Chain A
Amino acid sequence: MPINSDQDIVVARQKGRALATELGFPPGDATLIATAISELARNIVSYARKGHITLQKIDGLNREGLSVIASDQGPGITDIRQAMRDGFSTSGSLGMGLPGVRRLMDEFEIKSQPGRGTTVVVKKWKQ
């Protein structure tokens, strides 16, 4: 789904919670997932202005999960390692962004090219 405004952030996290609940995640996990989506969508709006979020059911060995792909063609991140450190932010408003999202989810992957954009893939597995 497209993420172009702060309204879309609300829609994205509501859809995320609905899918998590449908897949049988407990309410606590659904909240973690919805919160992570909210943060990822917010990063898109604040840094790249527009982008996409894709929610998917995923199958692993003996388990099911949910993946969130957040991608944009924004300015990208020059120093990923620095961006992943707690307390780092270039916009001054989102101090906790990415490291926090990593703590909310089970798996976290980020690819970014300066000038080309950023893609973050996060996954949560059902216990």
Chain B
Amino acid sequence: MEVPILKQGEVLIATFQAALSDADLNQLRSGLVQQVVRFRSRGVIVDVTAMDVLDSFASRTLREITHMIRLRGAETVIVGIQPEVAFAMVQLGLTLEGVATALDLEEGLAYLNQKFKKTN
């Protein structure tokens, strides 16, 4: 399954569809990092609104994406985690420590813009 990656100015937006397999997630991770390098993006938004389950593997992938992109000098923010999904995640002990989160796409963009302003 292809994950669409949208380029908007200095920001890349990846929208996760439901039912992503582990292989899809791995592919997405490397794809995103490549694109950040290619477009010299400053920020990445990963939109997980459609994901009805975020288990240990998905959480680990999100953390890895954030860390790898940070090594490239860009910021990542995860947006759209659903309330029930968040509840299940903390029960599992998955708290995405060290990863920025925001309510939705709009909030994610606002977060990144503020970050950019500070570093400019």
Contacts and interface: CB of A to CB of B under 8 A. Distances in A.
A and B touch in the complex (CB under 8 A): yes
Interface of A: 6-7, 9-10, 13-14, 17, 27-28, 30-32, 34-35, 38-39, 42, 86, 93-97, 99-101, 103-104
B56 A34 contact: no
A39 B87 contact: no
Contacts of B92: 35, 39, 96, 100-101, 103-104
Interface of B: 19-23, 52-57, 60, 82-85, 87-89, 91-94
Contacts of A17: 52-53
Nearest to A33: B88
17 contacts: A10-B19, A30-B84, A31-B52, A32-B91, A35-B92, A38-B55, A39-B55, A39-B56, A93-B56, A93-B57, A95-B56, A95-B93, A96-B92, A97-B56, A100-B92, A103-B91, A104-B91
B55 A10 contact: no
A4 to B, nearest CB: 13
A42 B55 contact: yes
B23 A34 contact: no
Given A9-B21, A13-B53, A39-B56, 14 more contacts: A6-B21, A6-B23, A10-B19, A14-B19, A28-B83, A31-B87, A31-B88, A34-B52, A34-B53, A35-B55, A35-B89, A93-B57, A96-B92, A101-B92
A23 B95 CA distance: 30
B56 A31 contact: no
Contacts of A94: 56-57
Q: Could you tell me the dominant secondary structure of chain B's interface residues?
A: helix
Given A6-B23, A9-B21, A10-B21, A100 B84 contact: no
A96 to B, nearest CB: 4
Contacts of A99: 93
A31 B85 contact: yes
A35 B88 CA distance: 7
Contacts of B83: 28
A104 B53 CA distance: 13
B55 to A, nearest CB: 4
